[in-house]
Chain A
Amino acid sequence: MSRGWIQIAFTLLIVILFVKPMGRYLVKVFDSEKTGLDRVFGPVERLIYRVIGVREDQGMGWKGYLRAVLLSNFVMMLLMYAVLRLQKVLPLNPDGLDNMPPVLAFNTVTSFITNTNWQAYSGENGLSYLSQMLAITFPMFTSAATGFAVAVAFIRGLVGRRDDLGNFYVDLVRSITRVFLPLSFVAALFLVFQGVPQTLHGAVNATTIEGVTQTITRGPVASLESIKHLGTNGGGYFGTNAAHPFENPTALTNLVHILSMMLLPTALVYAFGLLIRNKKQGWAIFAAMGFLFVVFLTTVYVAETNGTPALSALGVHGNMEGKEVRFGLSESALFTAVTTAATTGSVNNMHDSLTPIGGMVPMMEMMLNNVFGGKGVGLLNGLLYVVLSVFICGLMVGRTPEFLGKKIEGKEIKLASIAVLTHPVIILVPTALALLRPESLSSILNGGFHGLSEVLYAYTSGAANNGSAFGGLTANTNWYNLSIGLVMLAGRYISIIAMLAIAGSLSTKRVVPTTVGTLRTDTPLFSLILVVIILIVGALTFFPALALGPIAEHLGM
């Protein structure tokens, strides 16, 4: 086990080393500082602005910004839907795949526009190359960039003096041209070097040693893989995702995948500190998120290493079921903790096959949805809990609660409440509804506690815009496609609307100067409070459901 720990520690060390430089770079991108890169990207960006008719220096109020977010996302959804429904007649379909059925297409479109990447379809035999590129890879860039833009807009509202959150289209374009495109280009090249396919040619027919003909699907895999992780998207080219040898062939690709997932969510927290000109504040939030992450990671790793009593009785130590031997226990546990912390949703092992406690970890990370979290929205969710913590603790120092000098009052609490309420409701209510419908019960593979976990996991994954599947559940039915689709939409946009409204409200507030009478939010004590509030408000809500799922299952082992 100690070798596993060293492996994990090594990976996390690299993650931490990248935090500062990447964070600083992000600030340059979003603060529109002049850099040498302007000469490279400037002309391309200006061309794009001219084509879509955007004036670079024109700021947007929170309503304008929100309108731009929703409108652009809606237009992209329509485009993606059209591509999926018409893929049979559209080009780049060498294997002649049929159009996607409407409900499945709805599910797929919402899944990718919301950065969830829940895959009810099977990638290798359901999507043409054009669909893979336009309905899968394209939104992988835009949804991640949208999340980034919204987070940055929120930060601008937090420190701003007027209702000007920046220009959404500029933020969207810059994060694609300056962050996602260059990074994924480099990562894709490395993946190709490690043996990940990148081709537009159709599937290959091979004859195996036994003389059987086998169809081996391939395609533009590397380009998808790189943005899949950098954008914390998670939708694999192949159904088995990052456990597939074409997606994740070696230990090195596994490392690159993990780094890609953690790179931007962690750096963004640091960038937050820089943008608000209080690095300590950034680190305080980083510490709270990091602490939760380490706790979850340790839990899943220990649970998997301990295995189950039944396995131990057979002399098998550790639970290797559902895991790839080339990754082993530690890399699988780490991947699991990372993919659900950063709400990527790609998997290199089957979460359904984790021990009950091991399987509870990804579920809990998604229920909290702010252990670094998905692109931009993770930080937003973290800040949502910061606002709540500030409100409760601020009262305890005898002042109207304030964060970064802005008063947190009735309006902000009302909006924050909407966001806080949404997450548990869109997980628990659909889970309960699914369990009430005999038709949807038939999708469950295992009965009992584990069956409950399967359904709970599916909606949690959708609500958190994670997209990872527990497995076991046959999710490609009209009920699940529709309900999870709606859950993904609510999980994404309700909190974005609420948070941008908070940003708008905070942006026009006068800044109260800091004194010794002010609640300090950049201290270790505050990090601790944040952790406790996240656990009590965020996790205790799910305690009854978890007690009937993984906890009961674990105690029955």
Chain B
Amino acid sequence: MARERKRLLTGEIAKQAVWNSFTKLDPRAMIKNPVMFVVEVGTLITLLLSIWPNALGVSTAGRGYNVSVFLILLFTVLFANFAEALAEGRGKAQADTLRKTKSDTVARLLQKDGSLRDVPSTQLRKGDIVRVETGEIIPSDGEIIEGLASIDESAITGESAPVIKEAGGDFSSVTGGTRVVSDYILVKVTTDPGESFLDRMIALVEGASRQKTPNEIALTTLLAVLTLIFLFVILTLVPMADYLGISLDISTLIALLVCLIPTTIGGLLSAIGIAGMDRVTQFNVLAMSGKAVEAAGDIDTMILDKTGTITFGNRMAAQFLPVQGVDERTIAMAALQASVRDETPEGRSIVELAKEQGVTWEPSKYEGAEVVEFTAQTRMSGLNLRNGIEIRKGAVDSIRTYVESLGKHVPSDLEELGNQIAKQGGTPLAVAMEGHVYGVIYLKDTVKPGLKEKFAELRAMGIKTVMCTGDNPLTAATIAQEAGVDEFIAEAKPEDKIEAIKREQAQGKLVAMTGDGTNDAPALAQADVGLAMNSGTMAAKEAANMIDLDSDPTKLLSVIAIGKQLLITRGALTTFSIANDVAKYFAILPAMFIAAIPQLQVLNIMHLASPQSAILSALIFNAVIIPLLIPIAMKGVKYRAMTADKLLTRNLLLYGVGGMLVPFAGIKLIDMVISLLR
């Protein structure tokens, strides 16, 4: 499904959007968008004039002219509706896919007497306990109270690899609609019907509960006022012209009005907002409100956990440490053999490290070998070779138990080696072959590649990064420097995170953070943007205003970029729309008055062929610019991290100066085409 989401446009969505462009003509819906509502009223008036040209006073313009104006206006409204429908369509398609997951599951409700009874999932209430077995869909959100299972969450996250969930701890929450692929669990339901995570997700992607964001409201107000001003400008123009003995055609006046009011941004505004939310969803992040996405653009400080966010989380092999009597090459060889079929990041890093040390392996030797997968119970993985040799690696105590169970001797310094690594903040992984322990692999925190550059970008954008870690100050400082964060908090307790957030907020800053554990919940709630991991607890997810379905904390960086991009797109298209007015004035004003005041021909600097073609050209330009800009509205303007000054200069040149010049060229071009067609 993740892949499906990324597709920009399907034929089905486009077809639906075309249909919706017409249904959206309903004035009750249009009035929410004051700019386009005015255009719609203008369309109706010109329709009237197309049928009865003299309905509102004697008209000198022909019926054909009125019909042309009517058609162009109609298309202007339709184009705007199409943009909105298209943006909504993608969300609706996603919602439909999600809804399929939801439909009709049967839950096995645990009765007081311990027996099970089948009930439809829609009847489950908070506090009910259900049993879910292999192959079954979890009927509702809840917490595992008994058992351990691997769960396929692809319906929600799009990620096909199952995740392991178990009772107790930070990985006990399950989401309705996901599927148990092994073992069974008892789940305590935590939501009532209609309020589940899936329900909320459907509502969000569908845009049913979409509310205008604060910036969108402010912008809509500004656009409405500009519209109102131009309405007055046009209305008062009539008596002024009248006084000079000039009668103006109503369709021409409507044309001028529509050209001057900011229809471009007015027509695309809601599409920009919907598409912005949609882009967040495409990143597999679920934003609880558009407000949160907007706030992401305003973030001044990011508080990031070291483990999992900045580093891979104790997972990369750094060193092979042999037990006494074993040489380094042997342990490296054993570690390599234990990991050749291990596709986890740890496994690959071990293979990588062994290769670096010049240890190689013969693929043929492992043909037909049986792969022993890591499980939560055994906490070991490895290979059973065809010749019966067992190779294992795993947690130190698991390996010890394993070796002891084979009746073999455990080297006395194994424990010591493991502790040493743990003290340095690393994770030890013992390696055994044929029942002999060879040594320990030192898995160390490694800063994720590319993060340093990302943090530098953030700094350029004026965003401060703070790293939070339980490590001692020395280790913390090393990692902080390696990653290039601005500040770090060592030996941090969950309260320290809240303190740090409050401290930043007191300075007027907006703070973003990520978290997954229950004790992160208060901090997630305190932060202006809190991104919870889907793998985390229900408490964390409820406190956050965004949830990352892939459980990748670095997503926060992308979310901030999307938030900024959303605002920039609105600003850029507003600027473009307003700047357009200059050219439109020069097209329409001389055309309107040329008959009565021939000297105004001087203002016809584009040398448009005739008054009527000038007005129609401006109007056509005004209409077609909307669909032409739909890709920008949907994808957002190009955004690269840079300082505000540079961003402003760039966007002003593109959308301000461009917005002033483009219509001159566009209107002239359309005018030439019109004159050719005549």
In this assembly, does A452 line the interface, its C-beta being within 8 Å of a C-beta of chain B? yes
User: Residue of A at shortest CB range from B584?
Assistant: A540
Is B488 positioned at the interface, with any CB of A under 8 Å from its CB? no
A-B contact pairs, 21 of them (CB 8 A): A392-B578, A393-B571, A395-B219, A396-B568, A396-B648, A400-B567, A413-B222, A414-B218, A420-B225, A435-B240, A513-B509, A516-B644, A517-B462, A518-B462, A520-B645, A536-B581, A537-B578, A544-B233, A551-B600, A552-B597, A555-B597
- A545 engages B236 (CB within 8 Å): yes
Contact A432 B239 (CB under 8 A): yes
A451 touches B243 (CB 8 A): yes
A536→B580 CA distance, assembly (Å): 10
Q: A396-B648, A409-B214, A428-B232 are in contact. Are A547 and B603 (CB under 8 A)?
A: yes
- Complex contact B585–A421 (CB within 8 A): no
Render B215-249 as a binary contact track against A, CB cut-off 8 A, 1 for contact. 10111011011101110111111111111100000
- From B234, B240, B463, B602, A431 is in contact (CB under 8 Å) with B240
Q: Distance (Å) between the CB of A95 and the closest chain B CB?
A: 40
Q: Say yes or no: is B455 at the interface (Cβ < 8 Å to chain A).
A: no
B209 at the interface (CB under 8 A from A): no
Q: Which residues of B contact A436 (CB under 8 A)?
A: 239, 242
Residue A477 CB within 8 A of the other chain: no
> Do the beta carbons of A547 and B600 come within 8 Å of each other?
yes
Are B300 and A513 interface neighbours, CB within 8 A? yes
The reply to whether A525 and B648 form a contact with Cβ atoms under 8 Å apart is: yes
A428's contact among B233, B567, B643, by CB below 8 Å, is which?
A: B233
Give the distance in Å from the alpha carbon of A520 to the alpha carbon of B462 in the complex: 13
Interface hits, A527-556 → B, CB 8 Å = 529, 532, 536-537, 540-545, 547-548, 551-552, 555-556
Across-interface contacts of A388 in B (CB, < 8 A): 222
Contact B233 A424 (CB under 8 A): yes
Of the residues A392, A432, A449, A510, contact of B238 by C-beta under 8 Å? A432
Interface residues of A (CB under 8 A from B): 388, 391-400, 405, 408-410, 412-414, 417, 420-421, 424-425, 428-429, 431-433, 435-436, 441, 448-449, 451-452, 510-513, 515-520, 523, 525, 529, 532, 536-537, 540-545, 547-548, 551-552, 555-556
Interface residues of B (CB under 8 A from A): 214-215, 217-219, 221-222, 224-226, 228-230, 232-244, 256, 294, 297-298, 300, 460-464, 507-510, 563-565, 567-568, 570-572, 574-575, 578-579, 581-582, 585, 589, 593, 597, 599-600, 602-603, 639, 643-645, 647-649, 651-652, 655-656
With a cutoff of 8 Å between Cβ atoms, the chain A residues found around residue B508 in the complex are 405, 510-513
- Kindly list chain A residues whose C-beta atoms are within 8 Å of the C-beta of B217: 410
B244 touches A399 (CB 8 A): no
A429 touches B570 (CB 8 A): no
The minimal Cβ–Cβ distance linking A512 to chain B, given in whole angstroms, is 5
Instruction: Look across to chain B and name the residue whose beta carbon is closest to the beta carbon of A523.
Output: B645
Q: Which residues of B are found within 8 Å of A529, using beta-carbon distances?
A: 652
**How would you classify the secondary structure of chain A's contact residues: helix, strand, loop or mixed?**
helix
Report how far A392 CA is from B644 CA in the complex, Å: 14
**Contact A452–B568 (Cβ < 8 Å):** no
Contact A414 B647 (CB under 8 A): no
Among A396, A452, A513, A536, point to the contact of B655 (Cβ < 8 A). A396
**Minimum CB distance partner of B572 in chain A:** A396
Instruction: Give complex CA distance A541, B589 in Å.
Output: 13
Complex contacts, A510 vs chain B, CB 8 Å: 508
Chain B residues positioned under 8 Å from A511 (CB to CB): 508
Known: A435-B242, A536-B581. A392 touches B571 (CB 8 A): yes
Which among A399, A413, A425 has the greatest number of chain B C-beta atoms within 10 A? Answer: A399
Q: A395-B571, A396-B575, A408-B218 are in contact. Are A432 and B599 (CB under 8 A)?
A: no
Known: A392-B575, A409-B214, A516-B462. A400 touches B294 (CB 8 A): yes
CB < 8 Å neighbour of A398 from B230, B236, B565: B565
- Give every chain B residue within 8 A of A551 (Cβ-Cβ): 600, 603
- Residues from chain B with a CB closer than 8 A to the CB of A409 are 214-215, 218
**Contact across chains for B225 and A397 when beta carbons are under 8 A apart:** no
Give the CA-CA distance A540 to B234 in the complex, in Å: 12
A395-B574, A414-B218, A451-B243 given; name 8 further pairs at CB < 8 Å. A393-B575, A396-B572, A397-B568, A414-B221, A417-B225, A537-B578, A541-B230, A544-B256
In whole Å, how far is A2's beta carbon from the nearest beta carbon of chain B? 29
The reply to whether B214 and A410 form a contact with Cβ atoms under 8 Å apart is: yes
A520 touches B298 (CB 8 A): no
The residues of B that contact A425 with a CB separation of less than 8 Å are 229, 232
Write the nearest CB–CB distance from A22 to chain B, whole angstroms: 32
Cα distance A547–B222 in the bound complex, in angstroms: 26
